[in-house]
């Protein structure tokens, strides 16, 4: 089965909004073995939306639309679906009652224009929106959802579960394994693992994310043993670069592994300015392991809170392996991460380049310090440095456990 995506919104074409919804939609479709053939973005113009629907309907089995379900004058997606199908828009009394209850719950009066959010083409099926006001709708191979990501994330899984039952899609027959890697470029990763895919009917792809690269294996459940055999070979080949699977993140894996070892964790950050600590505390249960975070941006703070010696700072500078080593050594917990570097936009008077970062990690008395030369703007350098720190500590934890 093939699907196409129509993203509705002038802001998607004039640079006002960056599309992330199509990535999520594609990943969800993949779980049901539905192939996404194309995606397109159209302006909030009636004729253009109707034309896009017509073209899409001629080429795929399922059209998924995102955006244009709100209460304002430019929210016309459902009007365009109705126009294409030659159907009137209706308001279901049950949808009205649901909407009224939502407004009552947030103590905001409902005004007449809000009714537009629950209009739908005659005969369409509604899907309740647990994160917003406008329900999702489906009719004649066309599904429409709000463009707000959290609302789409709530609605699309509900719809696909229903749709797969209606169309008797054998979702359970699809078998997917996502292997999460960090620290290897896509081309190097491909070179290392492509020779492992020798079994027919097993497909793989690389999905480059901010937190690393996913190696996705997909086949059918009856080929599960062959998929697992390849996964085992991948671990044998690049295991030191694999930090998790499925929905894992670097921070969730770190918290899990610290818990498993009964260890406590803290951070001493300079160039990352609290990003590492902030990322970790986003993980539910982080309080079981995380104790404190120091943002020691100045030399005085490094001396006062982490015990870095003034002699080390004078001799090697704040941005140095020696300073990073003393920063992480000064943390009181059994595990820690320290960062120091130059995020830009300009370098300091030491003539060290922008993007030079030192990350130190510690497990017990074992300390590892690495030098990184990172590209990109200030925020990208800081973000990448934080990710390097998380991954470096995961690797050191595993290495110490293997000794």
Task: For 81-109, write each residue's pLDDT tens digit.
Answer: 999 999 999 999 999 999 999 999 999 99
Question: pLDDT at position 348, please?
Answer: 65
The DSSP line for 28-57 is: HHHHTT-EEEEEEEE-S-HHHHHHHHHHHH
Question: pLDDT at position 202, please?
Answer: 87
By CB atoms closer than 10 A (0-12, 13-18, 19+), residue 88 is exposed
Name residue 204's beta-bridge partners. Answer: 217
Question: pLDDT at position 351, please?
Answer: 77
- Percentage, residues of the chain above pLDDT 90: 83
Q: Which residues of the chain have pLDDT under 70?
A: 170-172, 348-350, 403
- For the chain, what is the radius of gyration of the CA atoms? 26
Question: pLDDT at position 243, please?
Answer: 97
Distance CA 29, CA 109 (A): 37
Name residue 337's beta-bridge partners. Answer: 267, 361
Question: pLDDT at position 172, please?
Answer: 56
Distance CA 286, CA 263 (A): 12
Question: pLDDT at position 136, please?
Answer: 97
By CB atoms closer than 10 A (0-12, 13-18, 19+), residue 301 is middle
Using alpha carbons, list the distances in angstroms from residue 21 to 30, 151, 389: 14, 11, 29
Using alpha carbons, list the distances in angstroms from residue 271 to 28, 146, 354, 375: 37, 38, 11, 14
């Amino acid at each position: 089965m093939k699907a196409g995506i129509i993203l509705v919104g002038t802001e998607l074409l004039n640079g006002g909004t960056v599309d992330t919804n199509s990535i999520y939609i594609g990943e969800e479709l993949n779980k049901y073995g539905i192939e996404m053939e194309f995606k397109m973005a159209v302006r909030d113009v009636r004729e253009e939306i109707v034309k896009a629907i017509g073209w899409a309907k001629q080429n795929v089995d399922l059209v998924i639309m995102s955006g244009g379900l709100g209460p304002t004058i430019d929210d016309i997606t459902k009007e365009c679906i109705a126009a294409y199908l030659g159907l009137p828009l209706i308001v279901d009394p049950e949808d009205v009652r649901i909407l009224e209850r939502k407004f009552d719950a947030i103590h905001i009066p409902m005004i007449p224009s809000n009714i537009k959010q629950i209009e739908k083409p005659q005969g369409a099926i509604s899907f309740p929106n647990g994160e917003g006001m406008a329900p999702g709708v489906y009719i004649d191979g066309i599904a429409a959802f709000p463009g707000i990501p959290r609302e789409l994330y709530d609605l699309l899984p509900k719809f696909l579960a229903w749709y797969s039952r209606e169309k008797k899609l054998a979702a359970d027959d699809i078998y997917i394994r996502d292997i999460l890697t960090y620290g290897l470029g896509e081309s190097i990763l491909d070179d290392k693992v492509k020779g492992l895919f020798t079994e027919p009917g097993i497909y793989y792809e690389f999905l480059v994310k901010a937190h690393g690269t996913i190696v996705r294996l997909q086949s059918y459940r009856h080929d599960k043993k062959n998929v697992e055999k390849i996964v085992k070979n991948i671990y044998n080949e690049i295991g030191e670069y694999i930090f998790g699977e499925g929905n894992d993140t670097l921070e969730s894996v770190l918290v899990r592994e610290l818990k498993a070892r009964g260890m406590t964790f803290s951070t001493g950050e300079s160039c990352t300015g609290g990003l590492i600590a902030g990322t970790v505390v986003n993980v539910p249960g982080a309080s079981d392991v995380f104790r404190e975070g120091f943002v020691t941006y100045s030399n005085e703070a490094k001396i006062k809170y982490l015990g870095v010696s003034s002699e080390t700072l004078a001799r090697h500078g704040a941005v140095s392996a020696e300073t990073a080593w003393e920063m992480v050594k000064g943390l009181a917990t059994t595990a820690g991460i320290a960062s120091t570097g130059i995020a830009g936009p300009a370098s300091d008077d030491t003539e060290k380049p922008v993007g030079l970062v030192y990350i130190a990690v510690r497990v017990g008395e074992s300390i590892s310090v690495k030098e990184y030369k990172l590209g990109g703007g200030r925020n990208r350098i800081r973000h990448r440095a934080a990710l390097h720190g998380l991954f470096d500590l995961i690797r050191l934890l595993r290495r110490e456990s293997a000794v």
